[in-house]
Amino acid sequence: MSDLQPVRGTHDLLPEEMRRYRQVAETARLAAECYGFLEVATPIFEFADVFKRTLGDTSDIVTKEMYTFTDRGGETITLRPEGTAGVARAFISGGLSQHLPLKFFYAGPMFRYERPQKGRLRQFHQTGIELLGVKEPQGDIEVIATGVEFLRRLGAWDRCVLELNTLGDTESRQNYRRVLVEYFSAHRDRLSKDSQERLERNPLRILDSKDEGDQRLVGDAPVYSDYLNEASRDFFAAVRAGLDALGIAYKLNPRLVRGLDYYCHTCFEITCDELGAQKTVLAGGRYDGLIGQMGGPETAGVGWASGIERCGLLLKEVSAARRPIAVVPAGEAAQLPALQLAERLRRLGLAVDLGYSGNMGKRLKRANKLAARAAVILGEDELAKGVATLRDLDSGEQREVPLDALPGTLEIYR
């Protein structure tokens, strides 16, 4: 046996796991489609500046987690760690500002160098949506509602909690930043090394720290909501009123933040305690400053991303594989007619398995192993009469069916 193994933090999506993946991704796509979001795909790798400009030089993603390399042309390339920056770059490079508002859905692999554990991988997969060009609270409401509908269709919403907070506008953020710096500066010697560096560049990131000492300080830190101006309070009130009107329950979490400067107003997470430490299944917020920060026109934005692997853990049932029809030739004379029949049935949209070798007994065993729904048996007697023997593999009943009538008869097994 070869000693070759998948790279740590990656995994193969074999058929059963692939069905789980597809079920989550397709459920997300269909839910997003109902709200008018259209599917897009951006490259898996981008120039490193796409992420450095957006995620910031001091973020953990940039400093510790990005897969960055120099290609043969001397360009610095990064495997995408998240989806929003690539969509924003596509908006700018595609000159799409004349087509606002825009509603995009995406699904695909992301890459971060993290310590692998349940629900956290180095190559993982996300679905997400981005709503560009809508500055009103209605955009936040609709984006959250789309995420809730996705989880509802997945059968997971009743086990989840929507946590909600506001980061306010630029003025509110500056006010809060000032008092936060004052507070943490008074306790600087008790901060972790990483948070001491964050204090100089972006103190809000300290609130996201996983260090236990930092978390004790965060517990007594000033609360963002105390420093919101009237416009920010009104915006958040409108978002909450919209969610109330839609019957979407939520829990206010004043400690929920996004550390990056371009985030503003609404931020949210949907969590599920049954997943343990990695319990966030969907998270997002408003990022009105992102596209401008990347060098594009000032454009409002709000969106979310959701981990496919984590959502897959919430599935109570995974869709079964499609059950095929087994075409079973009995004898050498039936080999080519069976091949032709199988191809004819496939062109009509039926899933058909045609074993490659073996007698009829072995082929029927293979059909049972594949959970085939029915077997179409062709032997010399059947060919002479222009019929096939159709055996229902669930009931065991069988009958002869004229070859011309076979496609219509098999419709019930589609």
The single-letter code of the amino acid at 146 is T
For residue 192, the 8-state DSSP code is -
Checking if the pLDDT of 69 tops 70, the result is: yes
Task: Please state whether the predicted TM-score (pTM) of the whole model is above 0.85.
Answer: yes
* pLDDT tens for each residue of 358-405: 888 898 899 999 999 999 999 999 999 999 999 999 999 999 999 999
Q: H or E segment at 77? A: strand 76-79
Buried b (16+ CB within 10 A) or exposed e, 170-207: eebbebbeebbeebbeebeeebbebbeebbeebbbbbb
Is pLDDT at 208 greater than 80 in this prediction? Answer: no
Beta bridge partners of 167: none
pLDDT for res 277: 78
183: helix, strand or coil? helix
- Stretch 172-193: mean pLDDT: 89
How confident is the model at residue 199, as a pLDDT? 83
Q: What percent of the chain has pLDDT over 90?
A: 68
What local confidence, expressed as pLDDT, does residue 254 receive?
87
> Cβ neighbours of residue 149 under 8 Å, at least 6 residues apart?
31, 34, 35
pLDDT at position 118 is 66
Ranked by mean pLDDT, which of 18-32, 42-56, 205-219 comes out on top? Answer: 18-32
CA dist 139 and 95 (Å) reads 22
pLDDT at 62 over 70: no
Rounded to an integer, the average pLDDT of 348-360 is: 89
120, pLDDT greater than 80: no
Percentage of the residues of the chain whose pLDDT score is greater than 70: 95
With a cut of 70, say whether residue 271 has pLDDT above it: yes
Range picked from 60-74, 196-210, 321-335 for highest mean pLDDT: 321-335
Task: Provide mean pLDDT across the span 74-86.
Answer: 94
Assigned CATH class of 325-413: alpha beta
Burial class (CB in 10 A: 0-12, 13-18, 19+), 16: exposed
Domain boundaries, the chain: 15-169+229-313, 325-413
Does the pLDDT value for residue 2 go beyond 80? no
What CATH superfamily is the domain 15-169+229-313? Answer: Bira Bifunctional Protein; Domain 2 (3.30.930.10)
